Structure 1
Amino acid sequence: MDVEKSQHDSAQAPPELHKGLNNRHIQLIALGGAIGSGLFMGSGKTIHLSGSSIILTYMVVGFFMFLMMRAIGELLLSNSSYNSFVDFTSEYLGARAGFFLGWSYWLCWVISCIGDVVVIGGYIQFWFPDLSLWIPAVCSLIFLVCVNFFSVKNFGEIEFWFAVIKVLAILVLIVVGFYMIFTGFTSPNGVEASLSHIVQQGTIFPNGAFGFIAGFQIAIFSFMGVELLGITAGETKDPEKNLPKAINSIPLRIMLFYILSLICIISITSWQFVSPEKSPFVEVFTLAGIHIAAALMNFVVLTSALSAVNSGIFSTSRMLFGLACQKDAPHVFEKLNHKKIPFSSLFFSGVGMLIGVLLLVIIPSVMQLYTLLSTLCAILILFVWGLMVCAYLSYRKKRPDLHQNSKYKMPAGIVLSYACLVFFGFALVALLFEEDTRVGMYIAPFWFIWLVIAFKYRDHIHAYFRKRFN
């Protein structure tokens, strides 16, 4: 009898993912997530809007990202059975919240990947200006989807080396940038590199308070991916040790990679010469006349976009798998292959991204399409981040015993969680200040209307899929 019961329980237990990510993978995934493609591609537009106050923008956003990650870290480590943040959101805020969060996060990464493969086409045109944008976009997407089919270690290894390239490139930019500043390098347009460009008149808030506030959109999008650690929990070895270590390193990384690199860019080029249509990381070397370095930096920002797509492919497949395990997505997405990879979820997400690349036919402008997609991502990720912080507040109210016994408590958790929610609300309002970001605000409500309908009829949707795929 006991044997039969054990076999029955085993049959009912959800499939488990392979724990193939070790400490070095987790550290570099955290690092890669904290250095998004928005920094490389979108910071030109943000500098154009905000001037040197962009430095303050990234410091503010980075501060709240760290607080949010501390909340996520404490929640994930409070229960070893959590595979992702959907699990604790469903437990503390209810099934509807988990459904909304999971599907919104899935769509967020699908849109983000579409945006990133779009800019991949733009980066390739640096070397092949006559090449159609969709060709490198489609090829890179298909390649990364295929790589992720084999094992989670493949994802970890690729992300590890992509992150290494990003880190080395930014360090080189910082070293070369400060060398140019201290030697008084003068670019072909007559600008002498100097730290004074950061504080000179008209530079800090060149477009006033509205320009400063509007700059938060790309900054928010740049940090999308920092929460990716909350997806890797189910495939991480020794999460009690590795997750806190990765989260605690976020502030130093923000100061080193975001703040210092932006200081270098503005000091070398002066903000008025930074193009909103191009990557300032490439432009800084182009303006300086160092064309080989510009080509190398273009390669780096290309790998950054590939890294973001790789992360998106991983996270969408795992999120869809988690939703299926929670009965919030059709059961077909719960299936694993012999390598314990959710292959049906991976395939479905990849097809969704591939269809989205067709937007290049409708909107051929890389920056225009990138702005629209990054705005939609910013709206969705603010919603996701907000729900996770609300889940933390519910956890503190419902399970004070778990908080008391936690070895990784969020400092001043309740007060700072409310501060995070206020900031997320402010960032959402900031999207209304610019016409090109306002369009995303008009489109986003349709997604939430669809979620309400889908949640109401999810049992019927499940029954349909069971009938078709069983």
Structure 2
Amino acid sequence: MAKQELKRDLKNRHVQLIAIGGTIGTGLFLGAGKSIQMAGPAILFAYIMIGILVFFIMRALGELLLSNSDYQTFTDFSIDYIGPWAGYVTGWTYWFCWIMIGMADIIAVGVYMQYWFDIPQWIPAIICLILLLTLNLLTVKLFGEIEFWFALIKIITIIALIIIGIILLVIGFQTDYGTVSVSNLWEHGGMLPNGITGFLFALQMVVFAFVGVELIGVTAAETENPKKNIPSAINKIPLRILIFYIGALFVILSITPWTELSASSSPFVSVFGLIGIPVAAGIINFVVITSAASAGNSSLFSTSRMLYTLGKNEDAPKKLGKVNKNHVPSNALFVSTIIVALGALLSYVIPDQAFTVVTTISTICFFWVWGVILVSHIRYTKTRPDLHKASTFRAPLTPFVNYVVLVAFAAILVIMFFSDDTRIPLVLTPIWFIALFIAYRIRRKK
């Protein structure tokens, strides 16, 4: 019988690329189209602003995880610093977050495949999900390898896009919409063409572009050298945001006026089609498919590990806390995959709204998870000042910056209520938390 624990098979290169994969996903490749249409060129400032907030969250997460070698995920320290109820609600909510992301990713695969094939979105979505399930059932090392190569494809593509964009800027390349120029950022209605309202409404999709960056924390239990690898991965996040988000979008918006980009397709694909390179557009479409598959792969990994932790803590059926002979939590993996498959059904029922619905619900739930990390860190600095002082990876500007980030999240939630696209999911999502609190009370009585 396999020893019932996870295996530390993820090496530094795996963790580094998983970290990059977490910061480059469907939210950027597909969601950027919609956020650009809302905010115009000012979307660059939105990514910078949210990126800074996310970095402070990650520093708090890193310090907490490294403060105790027994911490495997953020549910562990939330139990210590907030209470058992926080661990229960956060564990299940994080699982739900990634279920929603998994749905968004397979929906995105279906959308991208329509670039080549006139078939229903749900068919390629299901095929992709079955393939990812098969790969995840093998070993965590294989998961690391898949993510390594998926992330490498994304990195090479974005760097190539930036280099090509710079060349087009330097030579003053002509497109059907005029000369490739930085002036495209302000010549089509200014930096804020839709006013401050459009900018604020775009923040939800920008936040979604960053969800998954905390996956570094979930890999802690399966990382070969967490004290070295986790800080290294977290400290490189700002540079990655600057290159892969700001750099790529700056180039896209310089090549093509924001008014010519579609809200329903990837701007990365559109921009190459618009400058007359259809073959390159097809290649980019392949890349964004691998990006969505990569994020879906991360989704199955994280949901299965979270269910495994919940099962081990007896917050979920005990069978979910078991691993197979390859040290993979296969029961938890099967359950998560079946529920993610509902995303394919959603893309069949409401193909035009499915992506927005699941990304909105996911964003709201991630606010909870990130908020718990920040509150746990505040409690940690107050109740364990000795650990905070001795930390080799102390989070900067705490606890003041923790409060700033929490207030910013609260403001974004208020803004989402006034947007027609996000209002209904925002109103319905609290049902999930009410159900969890009821389930926790029932569990305590038993």
TM-score after normalising by structure 2: 0.97
Classify 1:201/1:302 alpha carbon distance in 2 versus 1 (closer, same or farther; 3 Å): closer
How far 1:93 moved relative to its partner? Answer: 0.6
Gaps in structure 1 of 5+ consecutive residues: 1-13, 464-470
Map 1:128-277 onto structure 2 (within 5 A). 128-129=117-118, 131-188=119-176, 190-200=177-187, 202-277=189-264
Counterpart in the other structure of 1:435: 420
Give the distance between the partners of 1:256 and 1:360, measured in 2 at CA.
Answer: 32
Q: Counterparts of 1:458 and 1:191 in 2: how far apart (Å)?
A: 64
Q: Which moved more, 1:140-149 or 1:433-442?
A: 433-442
On the 8 A contact 1:317/1:345 being kept in 2, the answer is: yes
- In structure 2, C-alpha distance between the alignment counterparts of 1:261 and 1:356, rounded to whole Å: 29
Give, in angstroms, the shift of residue 324 of structure 1: 1.6
Q: Distance in 1 between matches of 2:415 and 2:148?
A: 34
Correspondences of 1:273-288 after superposition (within 5 Å)? 273-288=260-275
Checking the alignment, whether the CA contact within 8 Å between 1:333 and 1:345 is kept in structure 2 is yes
Code of the aligned partner of 2:179: E
Aligned to 1:413, the other structure's residue is in SS state coil
Unaligned runs of 5+ in 2: none
- Aligned counterpart, 1:310: 297
* SS of residue matched to 1:215: helix
Q: Is the 8 A contact 2:99 2:340 kept in 1?
A: yes
Please list, as runs of the form range in 1=range in 2, the aligned pairs for 1:29-44 lying within 5 A after superposition.
Answer: 29-44=18-33
- Aligned: 1:17 with 2:27: no
The answer on 1:321 being equivalent to 2:308 is: yes
Taking the aligned partners of 2:142 and 2:415, their CA distance within structure 1 comes to: 38
Structure with greater Cα Rg:
1
**1:7 aligned partner:** none
Give the distance between the partners of 1:50 and 1:58, measured in 2 at CA: 11
Are the equivalent residues in 1 in contact too, given 2:29–2:268 (CA < 8 A)?
yes
Question: Partner of 1:370 in structure 2?
Answer: 355
Amino acid at match of 1:60: M
Partner of 2:54: 65
Q: Could you tell me which residue of structure 2 aligns to residue 77 of structure 1? A: 66
Distance in 2 of aligned mates of 1:268 and 1:446: 44
Deviation, 1:199, is 2.9
Shift of 1:433: 3.1
Equivalent in the alignment of 1:9: none
Name the structure 2 match of 1:6.
Answer: none
Indicate the residue corresponding to 1:8 in structure 2. Answer: none
2:286 to 275, 291, 299: 299
Corresponding residue of 1:466: none
Deviations 1:200-226 (A, max 9, x none): 362311111110001111110000110
Following superposition, the deviation at residue 20 of structure 1 comes to: 0.6
Deviation string, structure 1 residues 383-434 (Cα, Å, up to 9, x no partner): 1101110000011111111111111101111111111111111222221232
Check the 8 A contact 2:121/2:344 in 1, yes or no. Answer: no
- Equivalents in 2 of 1:325, 1:155: separation in Å? 22
Shift of 1:437: 1.2
- How far 1:459 sits from its partner (Å)? 5.7
Between the aligned residues of both structures, percent identity stands at 46
SS state at 2:429 partner: helix
Give 2:380's aligned residue: 395
* Pairing of 1:342-353 with structure 2 (within 5 A): 342-353=329-340
Name the counterpart of 1:109: 98
Measure the CA separation in 2 of the matches of 1:156 and 1:438: 37
C-alpha deviations, 1:77-114, integer Å up to 9, x for none? 00001111110111111011111111111011111111
Contact 2:120 2:348 in 1 (8 A): no
Contact 2:62/2:393 (CA < 8 Å) preserved in 1?
A: yes
Aligned residues of 2:26 and 2:108 also touching (Cα < 8 A): no
Task: Output the aligned Cα RMSD.
Answer: 1.3
- Using the size of structure 1 for normalisation, the TM-score is 0.93
| Deviation of 1:451 (Å) | 0.7
Pairing partner for 1:336 from 304, 309, 323 = 323
Aligned to 1:385: 370
2:109 equivalent to 1:124 = no
Q: Which runs of 4+ in 1 moved over 4 A?
A: none
Q: Deviations over 1:179-214 (max 9, x none)?
A: 1122111222x3321001113362311111110001
Report the Cα offset of residue 16 of structure 1: 2.2
Q: How many angstroms apart in 2 are the aligned matches of 1:265 and 1:394?
A: 43
Q: Is the 8 A contact 1:191 1:268 kept in 2?
A: no
| 1:292-328 per-position Cα deviation (integer Å, ceiling 9, x unaligned) | 0000000011011001100000000001111122221
User: What SS does structure 2 have at the residue aligned with 1:431?
Assistant: helix
Encode CA deviations 1:243-269: one digit per residue, 9 max, x unaligned.
000000000000011001111111111
**One-letter amino acid of the structure 2 residue matched with residue 381 of structure 1:** F
Quick check: 2:121–2:348 contact (8 Å CA) kept in 1?
no
Bigger drift between 67-76 and 171-180 goes to 171-180
Q: Does 1:405 align with 2:390?
A: yes
